[in-house]
A and B are shown apart, each in its own frame.
Chain A
Amino acid sequence: MDRTLTNFIRSLRMADVRISTAETLDAMNTVELVGYKNREFLRDSLAMVLPKTADEKETFYNCFDEFFAFEDVSGERGEEAHAEGEEHGDEQTGEGGEGGGSGGERQPGEPAGGKRKKSKKKKPNNNLFEEEEEEDLGPGAMTEATSELGELLMGDSKVELTMRMAAAGEAINVREIQIFTQKGLYARRIMDEMGLADLNREISDLRESPAVPARRLGQELKRRRDWLREQVRDYVERQFLLNADVTGKKLREELLRKVKLSNVEHRNFRLIQEIVYKMAKKLTTMHSRRKKVYKRGLLNVPRTLRHNMSYDGAIFDLHWKSVKIDRPKVFAICDVSGSVANYARFMLMFLYSLDEVMPKVRSFAFSSDLAEVTDLFNRNKIEDAIAKVLRDYSGGSTDYGQAFVDFRKLCMDDVDNRTTIIILGDARNNYGDPHAEILKEMYDRSKRVIWLNPEARLSWNTGDSEMRRYGAYSHQVEECNSLMHLERVVGNLLRQVT
Chain B
Amino acid sequence: MADIEQMAASVASLKEHFENHRYICSDQIATAVYLAYHLRKPILIEGPPGVGKTELAKTTSEMFELPLIRLQCYEGLDEAKAIYEWKYGKQLLYTQVLKEALDEVLAGAKGFAQSVNRLHEFGDIFFSEEFLEPRPLLKALKEEDGCVLLIDEVDKSDHEFESLLLEILSDFQVSIPEIGTVKANREPPMVFLTSNNTREISDALKRRCLHLYIPFPDVELEQRIIHARVPEVPEELRRQLVAFIHELRDLDLKKVPAISETIDWARTLLLLHTESLDADLVRDTLNVILKFQEDIENVDSELNALAAKIK
Using CB atoms and an 8 Å cutoff, list the residues of chain A in contact with chain B.
Answer: 18, 20, 22-23, 26, 29-30, 33-34, 40-41, 44-45, 47-49, 51-54, 57, 285, 288-289, 310-312, 314, 316
Given A44-B27, A48-B211, residue A33 in contact with residue B41 (CB < 8 A): no
Stretch at the interface among B14-22, B28-36, B102-110, B289-297: B28-36
Contact of A33 with B207 in the complex, beta carbons under 8 Å: no
CA distance A297 to B50 in the complex (A): 45
User: A48, A51, A285, A314 — which one has the most chain B CB atoms within 10 A of its CB?
Assistant: A48
| Interface members, chain B 187-229 (any A CB < 8 Å) | 199-200, 203, 206-213
Nearest-CB residue, chain A, relative to B10: A41
Q: Is the pair B88, A311 in contact by a Cβ cutoff of 8 Å?
A: yes
Contacts A18-B203, A22-B207 hold; do A44 and B46 have CB atoms under 8 A apart?
Answer: no
Please pick, from A22, A54, A285, A316, the residue contacting B213 in the complex, using a CB distance under 8 A. Answer: A54
Name the B residues within 8 Å of A23 (CB-CB).
207
Q: Is the CB of B211 within 8 A of A20?
A: no
Q: In the bound complex, do residue B35 and residue A316 qualify as a contact, i.e. CB atoms below 8 Å apart? A: no
Contacts of A34 in B (CB 8 A): 35
- CB–CB A41/B213 < 8 A: no
Tell me if B38 counts as interface (CB < 8 A to partner A): yes
| Chain B: minimal CB distance from A467 (Å) | 39
CB-defined A-B contacts under 8 Å, sample of 20: A22-B207, A22-B208, A26-B39, A26-B41, A29-B39, A30-B35, A41-B11, A44-B27, A44-B28, A48-B31, A48-B210, A48-B212, A52-B207, A54-B213, A57-B211, A285-B200, A311-B88, A311-B89, A311-B92, A312-B89
Number of interface residues of B (CB under 8 A): 27
Scan residues 77-123 of chain B and give those whose CB is less than 8 A from a CB of chain A: 88-89, 92
Q: How far is the CB of B92 from chain A (nearest CB, A)?
A: 6
C-beta contact mask, B152-170 vs A, less than 8 Å → 1, else 0? 0000000100000000000
B89 — which chain A residues lie within 8 A by C-beta?
310-312
Q: Mark B34-50, 1 if CB is under 8 A from A, else 0.
A: 01001101011010000
Of chain B, the residue at the smallest CB distance from A22 is B207
Closest chain-B Cβ to A362's Cβ sits at a distance in Å of: 23
Q: Which of B159, B200, B207, B211 has the most CB atoms of chain A within a 10 A radius of its CB?
A: B211
Contact B199 A288 (CB under 8 A): yes
Q: Which residues of A contact B206 (CB under 8 A)?
A: 52
Residue of A nearest to B159 (CB): A289
- Counting from the closest, the 6 A-B pairs by CB-CB distance are A52-B206, A48-B210, A311-B88, A44-B31, A52-B211, A44-B28
Interface of B is mostly: helix
Question: Closest CB of chain B to A98's CB: distance in Å?
Answer: 16
CA distance in complex: A440, B41 (Å): 59
With a cutoff of 8 Å between Cβ atoms, the chain A residues found around residue B27 in the complex are 40-41, 44
Beyond the given A48-B32, A54-B213, could you list 12 further A-B residue pairs with CB under 8 A, ordered by the A residue number? A29-B39, A30-B39, A33-B38, A44-B28, A44-B31, A48-B31, A48-B212, A49-B210, A52-B209, A57-B213, A312-B89, A312-B92
CB-CB nearest in chain A for B212: A48
- Given that A23-B207, A33-B35 are known contacts, is A316 also in contact with B88, CB under 8 Å in the complex? yes
Main secondary structure, interface of A, reads helix
Which of A26, A33, A47, A310 interacts with B88 by CB under 8 Å? A310
**Residues from chain A with Cβ under 8 Å of B44 in the complex:** 52
A47:B28 contact, CB within 8 angstroms? yes
CB distance from B298 to the nearest CB of A (A): 18
CB contacts (< 8 Å) of B208 on chain A: these are: 22
Q: Which residues of B contact A53 (CB under 8 A)?
A: 211
Chain B residues contacting A29 (CB-CB under 8 Å) are 39
Tell whether, in the assembled complex, residue B35 and residue A48 are in contact, meaning their CB atoms are under 8 Å apart.
yes
Instruction: Count A-B contacts at CB 8 Å.
Output: 60
Complex contacts, B32 vs chain A, CB 8 Å:
48
A45 to B38, CA, bound (A): 12
Name the distance in Å between B93's Cβ and chain A's nearest Cβ: 9
Q: Is the CB of A314 within 8 A of B199?
A: no
Bound complex: CA A179 to CA B26 (Å): 41
B92 contacts A314, CB within 8 Å? yes
Kindly list chain A residues whose C-beta atoms are within 8 Å of the C-beta of B207. 20, 22-23, 52
Min distance, Cβ B86 to any Cβ of chain A, angstroms: 9
Q: Are A54 and B88 in contact, with the CB atoms below 8 A? A: no
Whole-angstrom distance between the alpha carbons of A53 and B245 in the complex?
26
Contact of A41 among B31, B41, B159, B209 (CB under 8 A): B31
Shortest distance from the beta carbon of B44 to any chain A beta carbon, whole Å: 8
Judging by beta carbons under 8 Å apart, are B35 and A49 in contact?
yes
| Most central of A49, A57, A312 by chain B CB within 10 Å | A49
The answer for the CA separation of A22 and B41 in the assembled complex, in Å, is 12
**B31 pairs with A45, CB closer than 8 A:** yes
By beta carbon, the residue of chain B nearest A288 is: B199
Minimum CB distance partner of B41 in chain A: A26
Measured CB to CB, the closest approach of chain B to A51, in angstroms, equals 7
Give chain B nearest CB distance to A170 CB in angstroms: 32
A359 to chain B, nearest CB (A): 12
Which residues on A sit within 8 Å (CB–CB) of B213?
54, 57
Q: In the complex, what distance in Å separates the CA atom of A22 from the CA atom of B39?
A: 13
Docked pose: A419 CA to B38 CA in angstroms: 53
A48–B29 alpha-carbon span in the complex (Å): 10
Q: How far does the alpha carbon of A138 sit from the alpha carbon of B208 in the complex, in Å?
A: 68
Once the chains bind, are A54 and B38 in contact (CB under 8 Å)?
Answer: no
Q: How far is the CA of A316 from the CA of B85 in the complex (A)?
A: 13
B159–A54 contact, CB under 8 A? no
CB nearest neighbor in A for B206? A52
> Please, which residue of chain A has its CB at the minimum distance from the CB of B43?
A48
Shortest Cβ gap from B273 to chain A (Å): 41
Max chain A CB contacts within 10 Å: which of B11, B32, B207? B207
Residues of the B chain whose Cβ atoms lie less than 8 Å from the Cβ of A18: 203
B31, B46, B203: most-surrounded residue (chain A CB, <10 A) = B31
Give chain A residues whose Cβ lies under 8 Å from the Cβ of B38: 33
Distance to closest chain A CB from B211 (angstroms) = 5
A255 and B25 alpha carbons, distance in the complex (Å): 47
Residues of B within 8 A of A30 (CB): 35, 39
A18 CA to B210 CA, complexed, in Å:
14
- Please measure, in the bound complex, the distance between the C-alpha atom of A279 and the C-alpha atom of B128, giving whole angstroms: 50
Chain B residues within 8 Å of A20, by CB: 207
Report B-chain residues with C-beta under 8 Å of the C-beta of A285. Answer: 200
CB distance from B215 to the nearest CB of A (A): 9
Bound form: Cα–Cα A48–B211 in Å: 5
Question: What are the residues of chain B within 8 A of A314 when measuring CB–CB?
Answer: 88, 92
Q: Determine how close the nearest CB of chain B comes to the CB of A94; give it in whole angstroms.
A: 15
A62 to chain B, nearest CB (A): 16
Nearest CB on A from B131, distance (A):
13
Determine the residue in chain B with the shortest Cβ distance to A292.
B158
Give Cα A194 to B11, complex, Å.
46
Most buried by B among A34, A45, A288, A289: A45
Residues from chain A with a CB closer than 8 A to the CB of B43 are: 48
Q: Which of chain A's residues have a CB closer than 8 A to the CB of B28?
A: 44, 47-48
Question: Which of B32, B38, B39 has the most CB atoms of chain A within a 10 A radius of its CB?
Answer: B39
